[in-house]
Amino acid sequence: MPLEIDTEKENNLDDLKEDIEVTRKTDRWSDAPAEVKELFHQIEWNVIDGEHGGTVDLIRPALGHQVSPRTLVAGPMATGIAEVGRRFKFDEYFLPEVMMSAKSMHAALGILKPLIIEEKSEELGTVVVGTVQGDLHDIGKRIVAMMLEAAGFTVHDLGVTVPPEEFIAAILEHKPQIVGFSALLTTTMNMQWETVKVIAKQGLREDVKIFVGGAPISQAWCDKIGADAYAADALIAVEKAKACVGKFKELKGGDPSLHAAMLAMDTDLTRAKAEKAQAAYAA
């Protein structure tokens, strides 16, 4: 008798894992001096509350404590926007609140981005992102793009209602390692699948790793359409993008095991799924 999977329980487990990951990242502040830890918590909650001026006002004191710009983005700002995403997912927040939080974060990044560029750290890779054709929503996608840029990626944002042909053109022009599709509506999520198919038809599927995200998107949907990674929020998107680029560097040259390695990287997937992917590529 085949094993039946309770998808509702599986999704709840995914949510729990994401909450644990955010909590883990917050706990690392415990080693920071008391003044810095308090600033981190204030920045986090100002992002959550959408306090534009409050977030900006806290950035400079944090920098005065010799906190690096990247740490501010990857720490309190990231966990704050992750909490906003969680509240939106469970209907605790709606678009107006999300927009206020996005504006708060964008204002802080306006101060931090030039400082991050000055650090001249290693370029991690190139990412192309866009909201799929027919969908005009871009708040979540913009936040992901900002976070990726702050982490050290070069990001090309194609905007909203992007047809598959524009993604193809961007892949050919920018040679990204990662392409991200956003969709906020259940009526447009199928365009993620269609775009994956078009990329494969053009012979470019092995050249890029495809990330998907958005309110109606799940790991199950990611698996179904043959994408490489699902990111529930911007924080997870950055972590998975870093891991993805690392795999590219280790397995570059068209190694057919790359897809299986990417599946194994995602802790939500089983070893059996990774082996199945490896067998499919070897066939």
User: Which residues of the chain form beta strands (DSSP E)?
Assistant: 125-131, 153-157, 178-182, 209-213, 229-230
Q: Which of 91, 121, 151 is the last residue of a domain?
A: 121
Residue 178 — φ and ψ, nearest 5°? -130, 140
The percentage of residues in the chain with a pLDDT greater than 70, rounded to a whole number, is 75
The mean pLDDT of 108-134, rounded to a whole number, is 86
Determine the pLDDT at residue 260.
39
Q: Residue 135: its pLDDT value, please? A: 94
Does residue 95 share a domain with residue 55? yes
Number of structural domains found in the chain: 2
- Structural domain containing residue 134: 123-283
> Does the pLDDT at position 119 exceed 90?
no
| Residue 81, CB-side half-sphere exposure with 13 Å CA sphere | 33
Does residue 137 have a pLDDT over 50? yes
Query: Residues 105, 232: one domain?
Result: no
Same domain, 200 and 159: yes
Query: Of 83, 99, 121, at which residue does a domain stop?
Result: 121
At 248 the pLDDT is 60
| DSSP conformational letter for 283 | -
Strands 209-213 and 178-182: parallel
Residue 1 has pLDDT above 80, yes or no: no
Residue pair 53/108 in contact by the 8 Å Cβ criterion: no
Tell me what pLDDT residue 273 has.
Answer: 40
**Which CATH number is 155's domain given?**
3.40.50.280
Same domain? For 107 and 135 the reply is no
Answer yes or no: is 3 within a domain: no
The confidence score (pLDDT) of residue 237 equals 92
**Average pLDDT over the chain, rounded to an integer:** 80
Q: Which pLDDT belongs to residue 265?
A: 43
Give the pLDDT confidence score for residue 223 in this predicted structure: 97
User: What pLDDT band is residue 247 in, cutting at 50, 70 and 90?
Assistant: low
Q: Are residues 82 and 217 in the same domain?
A: no
Residue 6 counted as domain residue: no
This prediction's pTM: 0.66
Per DSSP, the three-state class of 132 is strand
- Write down the pLDDT at residue 28: 55
Higher pLDDT, 46 or 122: 46
Reply yes or no on whether the pLDDT at 174 is more than 60: yes
Quick check: is 48 in a domain?
A: yes
Distance CA 279, CA 215 (A): 32
Which of 80, 97, 121 is the last residue in one of the domains?
Answer: 121
Is the confidence at residue 280, as pLDDT, over 50? no
One-letter amino acid at 126 equals T
Q: List pLDDT tens digits, range 10-23.
A: 444 454 444 444 44
pLDDT of 26 above 50 = no
Contact 239, 266 (CB under 8 A): no
Q: Is the pLDDT of residue 282 over 80?
A: no
